Structures are given as structure tokens and as C-alpha cells.
Structure 1
Amino acid sequence: MLQVFTGSWALFIGMFMLMVGNGLQGTLLGLRGDQEGFSTLALSIVMSAYFLGFLFSSRYTPELIRRVGHVRVFAAMGSLISAVLISYPILLEPWAWTIGRVVIGFCFCGVYITAESWLNDASSNDTRGKALSVYMIVQMAGIVFAQWIVSRGDVAGYTLFIISSVMVSLAFAPVLLSARPMPAFATTKRMKIKDLVAASPLACFGMFMLGGVFAAQFGMSAVYGNRVGLTVGEISFFISAIYIGALVAQYPIGWLSDRIDRRFLIIGVAFVGGIGSLAAFFITDNFAVIVFSGAIVGGMSNPLYALLLAYANDYLDRDDMAAASGGFLFVNGLGAIAGPLIVGRMMDVIGISGYWLFTAVLMLAIGGYGLYRMTQRSRTAFDDANAVHYVPVSAAATAVATEVALEVYIEAGDEEENPA
């Protein structure tokens, strides 16, 4: 692991600072928007805008990279992110924040695509899986550290927004000054949605539902915490628990995934996440329960993303895996765009606890649909023989990171077929 870090230290340090900046802006906008009197609907639109920009970027950034190169795209998007972050406290209007979030989502996706393709190029067959794991840990650590910064600052002022902008600006220095050249870039075609559904209805359904869960966690957690009466420090602790839970649970679930029928694990993980959400839905005034539920939902939903991806790949030819990963990202993105809008409406109609009911319904729906699918498709010895290895993939990953995971799947399969 140390060898992996030293080999790509510039990328990992830069990504850590980027995630600090991204984690800061997600929490800050929810808290500051509430202070400025933005309605729940307005905040949900603002939060959805990030995922809209992210989805468009996954389609158009590869073309930008092919036209002008990695370095120019990387630098330009970093400048835009920094400029938008520092403009938020100046333009205190929902429409301005919505436009800013679209730009931020577009640029962050572009930065991830560039960084992840560089990570893939810098990794060897022996280190690719470890590099992806370190990359995911760095991302989670950056978001958690951002929550600590929020808890120490004044949401009503400018300082935290300036820190966010500075962190993003500094993040590009180690990467752009690195001696390693940027790799050649190529992307695969996406698979049609109907083909994705035919290959794995459970994975397709689950990816869409998880998009809503992730959007609620990343976009609406601060809004929920503020409305339920938590202090800024408590909100930061609550959001940190979501990502710490994801980090802690990822590897035990991955270990189990390679040893039992993945459908049982998908169903179990989804139901545990749904029950964890219901605990906070029924017990709304206990901070310990809120934090516990956040850790459980975060700890179940993030590994579930990688589980569903691995499960779908069990039924795909190697040549189709990369195309399918791009299609799943699109399906997940559609769910993410709708997520904040629906959860915001539920919080208005049902009350603040609608936040937890939303995530509970989505997680339980995944588990319930998994049970149904087990009655429609029986697993055979052939399926078990073609099962790929579980590889941790962040929910914020782009098509490039998922393709890195696919290379790990294929390499691991080759090692089993042709042991040294």
C-alpha cells in the first residue's frame, strides 16, 4: 500500500484537497441556504443541480480532453471550481447557486475523469486494485476532514467558502507539477438501457435507487440536520459518520461478496440500510440514533454500489463490461438528479423525518426487488465459475474509475485461469 501511495503521491494529495473543497461546499450550501431563508424546494433544486452537471460532464468531458488535452482541461476546470466556490456568499440567490452547482458538478466530474485516467496509467497490473482502494480512502478522508473544518468555522461568514476555494486551487499544484505525463485517453461506448436491464434487472434497478440515496446523503444531509435542530458541530459529526461507515464496511462486505451468493448479500445489505433509516424515522429527537442511522445507511449503500456492479459483471462478457459500467453510471446519475427533489418534497409534506423515510423506501425496495429476482433467475455452477472479484468503487466514481475496477476483475480472472 505504501508503494502505491509513493508512486502516485501527487494525485492522492491533490485528490484529498479536492475532496475537502467538495465536502465543504456540499455542507456549507445546505447550512448557509437555510440561514438565508431558502425554502426546502429551492435547496433541493440547488442540490440536484450538481448531479445534473456531473451527468452532462461524463458525456462531454472525454471529448474536451481529446480536443485540448488533459492538462488544459484539468487546469480550466480547477479555475472554474475555485471561482464558483468563492462566489457563493456573494450571490445569495437560489438561481445563482443552482447555476453554480451545475458548473461545479460538471467540473468536478471532469477533474475526476482526468485524475482517474492518470491513476490507471500510473498503476501496474499488480498495484491497480490497491491504487483504487487508496484512491477511495483518500476521497472519503477528504470529505470527513471537510466536516471537521465546518465545525470549527462560521457558516454565516466568508471564511469557509474562501478555504474551500483555496483548497481546490492548491489541489492542482502537485498534480500539474508532477513529472509524469498525462496518458492517452479513450472511452468506450455505453450500453443501451434495455440491454442493461436484460443483462441484470437487479443491478439496473439498484443503481437507479442508489442514485437517490447518494444524492440525499451528499446533498440534503446538512439541510436535514439544520431543520431537525442540530448544531453545526453535530451536523458535521453526522455527515462524517455517513462516510466513515462507508469506509469501515466496504472491505468486510467485499470479503463476503467473493464467498457467498452476491444476491443474498445485496438483499441483506439493502435491508440493513433500510432498517437503519427507519430507526431514525421513528426516533427523531435522539442525536445518537441519528448518527447511528447515518453510519448504517452510509456503510450499507456505498458497498452496495460496488456489489451491484460486480454482480452485473458476473453475467457479462468481458468485452461488454466497460460499456455496461458507463450505462450504470448514467442510470445512477438519473436517480441522483431526482433524489434531492423528491426528498425535499417529502420533508415538506411529511416533515423533517421524510429524509429518513426516503432512504428507507429506496433501500428496502432494492432488497425487496432482490428477493423477487431470486425467484426469476436461479444461480448455477456456471454462474459461480464466472463470478468476478469484488473491487471497492466509490459512488462518486466516473466511468474511468469503474473501468479501472473492470481491469482488476479481468486480471484476477486471468490469474485464476492461468496460475503462475
Structure 2
Amino acid sequence: MAGQLLPIAALLFSTFLMLVGGGLAGILLPLRAGLDGWSPTTIGWMGTSYALAFTLGCLIVPRLVRRVGHVRVFSVLLTLLSMSLLLHALVMEPVAWMIFRGIAGFSLAGGYMIVESWLNERVTNETRGRVFSIYMIVSMLGLLAGQFMLPFGNPATQTLFIICALIYASALIPTALSNAQSPRALTRVSLDLKGLYRRSPAAVVGALIAGIVAGAWGFLAPVYGERIGLSTLGIAAMLATAMIGGSIFQYPLGRASDLVDRRYVMVAAGAVGLVLAMAMVLIHPGPGWLIYAIMFLFGSVLYPIYSLNTAHANDAANPSEFVTISSGLLIVYGIGSMIGPQAAGRLMDAFGPSGLFITMAVCYTLYAAHALWRILQRSIPIVVDQKTEFQFQSPEMQQTPETLQLDPRSEAAQD
């Protein structure tokens, strides 16, 4: 195993550092904006800008790499990431922060794609599953490490911004000094939304709703934590608890969906999400053990629902279509993640912190209701041996088309 990891150690270390920076920035920026009195709707616009730019990065960066090469583009993107954090510290204006957040989203998408393309070049079908699992674990550890750096500084000062910029800059070093050969061209995405919807309506609508949920949570959960009185350590712990819950519950939920019509699991996940979101609205827990207990359970349906959609869409597809279908769902998910921060921000302005979980309650209701309606519209014969295996995905790890190439479910397309 060590022999398989040594050639990709530098790439994994770059990934870890990018995720540390991403984890810290993801919690620092909305929290600082909230401390400066910006409304949740304004903070939501930052999230929308980031999601839009991330999605565009998945489409544009492959063209840039074709023109000037992997190393040069990767160097530029990591430089832009560092600059974006320093600019946040220098210019405290909402419109400027939306632009800077967009730069970060575009750059992170490209950075992930380039590192993942290098990893793809180094794996075989025999090692793909292990490397993908290690990549997901490294990603999750990076996010957790970044989030728990928040308590070591004061969000109201520039220190954490500078530290985050330094982390992004250091992510360039391992890959830039690696002797790995430049890999093949990056995966280019084409979107046939009508064809994708005809193939699997439940997966397309589910991916859109999953994106709304993830966008709302990713950009406004830190603001929610600050508004209910959590300390910086408490906010980091709240996010980490949900992430850990998502990791633990992915396996039983995925295993259940491998054995039955996945739409039934979608209905169940939506019902659980609705109950937990309404519990947060009605109980309105402040600092204390109860909020962490609910967040642990909430993570069980916060993160895995996108994986359910991907697996369901690919159940009836040829193995060679996995990357194409999953890439299309990824764009749909990205569109949802643009909507989520806006929807949750406006409801938080109207109803206070509980507006975040009102948004979640509505989303999970729609998620369950649409899956149930599709069950009533069309039954699907279940042949367990022919179903696509549900694959673990690191919570909050934003996927790119290159992640899909690394996924072991793409093996058949590469044989």
C-alpha cells in the first residue's frame, strides 16, 4: 500500500492544504460578515457568487489547461486563491466580497480538477477504489482541520485571513515540486438537461434540491451559530458534528438504497430531514448538548442525499455513461447551490436564525414528495446485482468532473 501512496503523496498533501484553506475560509468569511452586521441575504449573495464561479470553473478551466498546461494554470489558480483572501481582509465591502468569493470559487474548482487529473493518471482500475477512499478521507480531514483553526484567532481581525492565504499558497509547493508528468487533458462537461430528466426525473430534481440544501448550509450555518450565541469553537464543533454524522450514516443509508428502490430511501431521508429541521425551528436550541445531538442526526441526511441521486440515475445506465450522467447532475447540483444561499438568507432576514431550518424543512418536504410522486408514476424492477453501488463521498467535498473520473464506478468506462 505504501508503494501505491508514495507516488501520489505530494498530490494528496496539496489537496489536504487546499481543503484546510477551504474549510477555514468557508466558516471565517460568513462569520466575519455577520459580525460586521451584514444581513443574511447579503451573505447569501456571497454564497451564490461562489457557487456560480465554481460551476463555471468546471466548464472553463479545462479549456485553459489545454492552452497553457497544468502546472501554469495550477500556479495561477493558487495565486488567485491567496489573493482573494488577502483582498477580503483589505476591502470590507459586500459587492467586493462577492467578487472575491467568486474568484475563490473559480480557482478552487480548477485546483481540484488539476490535482484530481494527476491522481487519475497515477491510478489503475485495481487501485482506483483505495486511492479514491484515501482521497475522500484526506479531504474530510482537511476540512475539519480548517474549521477547527477558527478558534485560534479572532474573526474580527486580519490574522485568520492572512493564515488562510498562506495555507492556499503553501498548497502550490508540493505539486509544483512533484516530478509527476502532466496528465491528459481535463474532462469537459456537456449538459443535456432534457435527456437527463427523461432518464431519471427523481435524480435531477433531487440533485437540484440537494444543491439548495448544501448551499444554504455551507454559507449560512456559521451565521446561524453566531446568531444563537455559539462561540467560535462551538460553531466549528456544530459544523464538524454534522459532517461526522454524515460520514457515519452514509454506509447504512447507502446499503439500504442498494437493496431496494432508491426512491424509497429518498422519501425516508426527506421525512427524517423534515422532522429534524422542524425540531430545530420549534425547539430552537441554543448553546448546549442538544444542538450537537440534533446536528449529528441532521448530518445523516444533509450530505448523503446527493449520492443517492447519482446512484439512482446510474442504475439504469450503461457503465460507460457514468461520467456523463454524473457530470450533468453535478451541474444541476451547482445550480441548486446558487439558489440555496439566497433562499435561506431571505428567510433568515424574515424569521431570524430559524429561517435557515425553515428553508431546510421546505427542501426536504419537496425532496420526499417528489420521490414519492415518481414512485407512484412509475415502478422500477429491482435487480440488486445490476444496480450501481452507492459510493461514499466526503461531506462538504465539492465534486468536479475529475472527481467522477477518479470514482471507482467509472472503472467500466475505462477498461
Q: TM-score, normalised by structure 1?
A: 0.93
What is the CA-CA distance between 1:3 and the residue it aligns to? Answer: 5.5
Question: What is the rounded CA distance, in whole Å, between the counterparts of 2:197 and 2:331 in structure 1?
Answer: 13
Which moves more between the two structures, 195-204 or 118-127? 118-127
Which moves more between the two structures, 34-43 or 336-345? 34-43
Distance of aligned partners of 1:406 and 1:128 in 2 relative to their CA distance in 1, 3 Å threshold: closer
Matched, 1:375 2:376: yes
The amino acid across from 1:403 in the alignment is Q
What is the CA-CA distance between 1:183 and the residue it aligns to? Answer: 0.8
Aligned to 1:355: 356
Aligned to 1:405: 407
The amino acid across from 1:185 in the alignment is A
Which moves more between the two structures, 207-216 or 34-43? 34-43
What is the CA-CA distance between 1:352 and the residue it aligns to? Answer: 1.3
The amino acid across from 1:405 in the alignment is D
Preserved contact between residue 393 and residue 405 of structure 1 (Cα < 8 Å): no
Which moves more between the two structures, 272-281 or 328-337? 272-281
What is the CA-CA distance between 1:393 and the residue it aligns to? Answer: 3.3
What is the CA-CA distance between 1:186 and the residue it aligns to? Answer: 4.3
Distance of aligned partners of 1:190 and 1:393 in 2 relative to their CA distance in 1, 3 Å threshold: farther
The amino acid across from 2:132 in the alignment is L
- The SS at the match of 1:95 is helix
Aligned to 2:329: 328
Distance of aligned partners of 1:357 and 1:161 in 2 relative to their CA distance in 1, 3 Å threshold: same
What is the CA-CA distance between 1:130 and the residue it aligns to? Answer: 1.9
Aligned to 1:36: 36
Distance of aligned partners of 1:73 and 1:262 in 2 relative to their CA distance in 1, 3 Å threshold: same
Which moves more between the two structures, 123-132 or 94-103? 123-132
What is the CA-CA distance between 1:4 and the residue it aligns to? Answer: 4.9
Alignment of 1:284-363 (within 5 A): 284-287=284-287, 288-363=289-364
- The SS at the match of 1:126 is coil
- The SS at the match of 1:305 is helix
Question: What is the rounded CA distance, in whole Å, between the counterparts of 2:3 and 2:284 in structure 1?
Answer: 46
Preserved contact between residue 140 and residue 244 of structure 1 (Cα < 8 Å): no
Alignment of 1:204-223 (within 5 A): 204-223=204-223
- The SS at the match of 2:184 is coil
Which moves more between the two structures, 103-112 or 357-366? 357-366
- The SS at the match of 1:154 is coil
Preserved contact between residue 189 and residue 401 of structure 2 (Cα < 8 Å): no
The amino acid across from 1:404 in the alignment is L
- The SS at the match of 2:389 is coil
Distance of aligned partners of 1:189 and 1:145 in 2 relative to their CA distance in 1, 3 Å threshold: closer
Preserved contact between residue 5 and residue 134 of structure 1 (Cα < 8 Å): no
| Unaligned stretches of 5+ residues in structure 1 | 415-420
Preserved contact between residue 15 and residue 138 of structure 1 (Cα < 8 Å): yes
Alignment of 1:142-153 (within 5 A): 142-153=142-153
Aligned to 1:418: none
Question: What is the rounded CA distance, in whole Å, between the counterparts of 1:330 and 1:266 in structure 2?
Answer: 20
Preserved contact between residue 147 and residue 236 of structure 1 (Cα < 8 Å): yes
What is the CA-CA distance between 1:379 and the residue it aligns to? Answer: 1.8
The amino acid across from 1:307 in the alignment is L
Query: Structure 1, residues 105-145: CA drift from partner, whole Å, max 9, x if none?
Result: 00000001111111111111112122222212211211111
Aligned to 1:98: 98
- The SS at the match of 1:352 is helix
Preserved contact between residue 137 and residue 247 of structure 1 (Cα < 8 Å): no
Aligned to 1:254: 254
Query: Structure 1, residues 267-310: CA drift from partner, whole Å, max 9, x if none?
Result: 22232223222221111134333323333333323222122101
Preserved contact between residue 272 and residue 301 of structure 2 (Cα < 8 Å): yes
Q: TM-score, normalised by structure 2?
A: 0.94
Question: What is the rounded CA distance, in whole Å, between the counterparts of 1:213 and 1:123 in structure 2?
Answer: 33
What is the CA-CA distance between 1:265 and the residue it aligns to? Answer: 2.2
Question: What is the rounded CA distance, in whole Å, between the counterparts of 2:389 and 2:3 in structure 1?
Answer: 23
- The SS at the match of 1:391 is coil
Distance of aligned partners of 1:189 and 1:93 in 2 relative to their CA distance in 1, 3 Å threshold: closer
Alignment of 1:12-411 (within 5 A): 12-287=12-287, 288-381=289-382, 384-394=384-394, 396-405=398-407, 407-408=409-410, 410=412
Query: Structure 1, residues 233-266: CA drift from partner, whole Å, max 9, x if none?
Result: 2111111112222222223333333333322222
Preserved contact between residue 390 and residue 409 of structure 1 (Cα < 8 Å): no
What is the RMSD of the two structures over their aligned residues, measured on CA atoms?
A: 2.0
Distance of aligned partners of 1:198 and 1:384 in 2 relative to their CA distance in 1, 3 Å threshold: farther
Which moves more between the two structures, 98-107 or 18-27? 18-27
What is the CA-CA distance between 1:89 and the residue it aligns to? Answer: 1.6
Preserved contact between residue 114 and residue 186 of structure 2 (Cα < 8 Å): no
Distance of aligned partners of 1:14 and 1:201 in 2 relative to their CA distance in 1, 3 Å threshold: same
The amino acid across from 1:401 in the alignment is T
Question: What is the rounded CA distance, in whole Å, between the counterparts of 2:411 and 2:268 in structure 1?
Answer: 23
Query: Structure 1, residues 18-65: CA drift from partner, whole Å, max 9, x if none?
Result: 111111111111111122221222111112211011011111111011
Q: Percent identity?
A: 33
Preserved contact between residue 216 and residue 343 of structure 2 (Cα < 8 Å): no
* Count of residues paired in the alignment: 412
Question: What is the rounded CA distance, in whole Å, between the counterparts of 1:6 and 1:265 in structure 2?
Answer: 39
Question: What is the rounded CA distance, in whole Å, between the counterparts of 2:56 and 2:191 in structure 1?
Answer: 17
Question: What is the rounded CA distance, in whole Å, between the counterparts of 2:256 and 2:351 in structure 1?
Answer: 37
Question: What is the rounded CA distance, in whole Å, between the counterparts of 1:128 and 1:148 in structure 2?
Answer: 30
Aligned to 1:417: none
Question: What is the rounded CA distance, in whole Å, between the counterparts of 2:348 and 2:31 in structure 1?
Answer: 16
| Unaligned stretches of 5+ residues in structure 2 | none
Query: Structure 1, residues 364-409: CA drift from partner, whole Å, max 9, x if none?
Result: 321221111111221225x545311222234511011123326446
